[in-house]
Amino acid sequence: MSLFEKFNDLAQSRAGLGDQHVAPVATPIEKVFSATEGQINGQRTILAGTNNYLGLTFNQEVLSAAHAALDEYGSGTTGSRMANGSYHAHQKLEQELADAWGWPAAMVFSTGYQANLATISTLAGKQDYLLLDSDSHASIYDGAKLGQAQTIVFRHNDPANLDRRLTRLGDDAKRALIVVEGLYSMLGDQPPLEAFIEIKRKHGAWLLLDEAHSFGVFGEHGLGLAEARHCMDGIDFVVGTFSKSLAGIGGFCVSPHAELDLLRLAARPYIFTASPSPAVIASTRAALNQVIHGQALRDSLWRNIEQLYSALNQMGYKLGSEQPGPVAAIILPDRESALAHWYGLLEAGVYANLMIPPATPKGLNLLRISLSAAHSPAQVDQMIDAFGRLQAAA
């Protein structure tokens, strides 16, 4: 017997990826030249799997802010927000996030994962209910496990199924927190948000929207899907991350309920985690300004989205979503085909994400492209040409 025996299935899955010299999972990127180019296996490669939706990782204002904070405040806080890790800049970022939504409350966390752990596990207590979309991110499920609420899973993007489950709760639905995402990162699909809000109001429930992948991409000010759909007044909590459009690492929660501030005294992942470094906070503040005033960036991103989606559809590839977005998930019939496409793209100088079971919904085998505003039309053409050659060779 061994503590590691439980991982035998995972070991077999990893072995099934083959023994080629470049790993298709956790692929080492040897150098990064820009927001859209790096070096993999000695070859200059287009980075098309990075979630760098607005291409801000090399933005000069973002970099300058980080450098200045590093020089002024040092490399880290060495403490939690409840101890010595609450700097003035942390509070300023929280105020700027709250101001962006026009809401009274915002909290900043050390990672986006931690933001979901803290808010979900703390908002829904022992006498409450969580209703989770079946395709929810791992951080949402883990937040449910960390808390003590009764968890109910409803079918993906199915308002009628959610309605039936809330109906069964009766008056207890007023103590139910519904959690959905603005953009699902595996398939790139969007929720029927307006329908979910209508059901939430019907039952007097609460709604948390995870805008991790939709923030920066949708809406006049880049605030996400709720802004784009003009239904922000139907949302109780928005959770987001710094690691996509904001080009850093960290997370946040904003809310129209001023009581959100009480979570600082109750959310264990917030209380017992070291706060984000000064450089991260400074770069995020600069990036947030770029997002809010970044319509030109969003225009560039959407041009790239439309270019790629149109080409993939014309080639006959099966996509994870009929609604174009920054994530293009190409569904392939089996693991072998997905692996062949991944290696074929890499040989053509395009890095994508290989997504295979058990990490994917419904056991799908996927290639995932995440587009950036910084991708040039020529780079998108190179992606399209690579897919075209793979399709012709299949």
Instruction: Quickly list H helices, the chain.
Output: 8-15, 60-73, 88-101, 112-123, 138-146, 159-169, 193-203, 225-228, 268-271, 278-292, 295-315, 335-347, 377-393
Instruction: Name the DSSP letter for residue 121.
Output: H
Global pTM value: 0.95
Answer for the pair 4, 10: CB distance below 8 angstroms, yes or no.
no
Low-confidence stretches of the chain (pLDDT beneath 70): 1, 19
Answer for the pair 228, 195: CB distance below 8 angstroms, yes or no.
no
Q: In angstroms, what CA-CA distances link 24 with 153, 257, 338, 383?
A: 31, 43, 10, 17
Answer for the pair 143, 175: CB distance below 8 angstroms, yes or no.
no
For 20, the token pair is 């080629």
Q: In angstroms, what CA-CA distances link 305 with 28, 87, 287, 298, 368?
A: 26, 39, 22, 10, 13
Answer for the pair 144, 177: CB distance below 8 angstroms, yes or no.
no
Q: Name the residue with tokens 């307006």.
A: 194
For 379, the token pair is 């780079």
Give me the sign of the Cα torsion angle 286, 291, 295, 301.
positive
Tell me how far apart the alpha carbons of residues 311 and 313 are, in angstroms, rounded to a whole number: 5
* DSSP helix/strand/coil, 309: helix
Measured in whole angstroms, the distance separating CA 321 from the mean position of its chain's CA atoms is 16
Answer for the pair 149, 128: CB distance below 8 angstroms, yes or no.
yes
Answer for the pair 253, 119: CB distance below 8 angstroms, yes or no.
yes
Amino acid at 373: A
Return the pLDDT at 15.
Answer: 79
Tell me how far apart the alpha carbons of residues 195 and 24 are, in angstroms, rounded to a whole number: 38
Residue 307: CB atoms within 10 Å:
18
Residue 83: CB atoms within 10 Å:
13
Residues 6 or more apart whose Cβ sits within 8 Å of residue 101 = 223, 232, 238, 254, 256
Domains of the chain, residue spans = 5-54+295-393, 60-292
Amino acid at 1: M
Return the pLDDT at 1.
Answer: 66
Tell me how far apart the alpha carbons of residues 112 and 78 are, in angstroms, rounded to a whole number: 19
For 187, the token pair is 């398939």
User: What fold, for 5-54+295-393?
Assistant: Aspartate Aminotransferase, domain 1 (3.90.1150)
Amino acid at 236: D
Tell me how far apart the alpha carbons of residues 392 and 394 are, in angstroms, rounded to a whole number: 6
The domain at 60-292 falls in which architecture? Answer: 3-Layer(aba) Sandwich (3.40)
- To the nearest 10°, the Cα dihedral for 262, 107, 126, 202? 100
Return the pLDDT at 9.
Answer: 86
Do strands 327-332 and 365-370 pair parallel, antiparallel, or not at all (unpaired)? antiparallel
- Strand (E) or helix (H) holding 50: none
Residue 296: CB atoms within 10 Å:
9
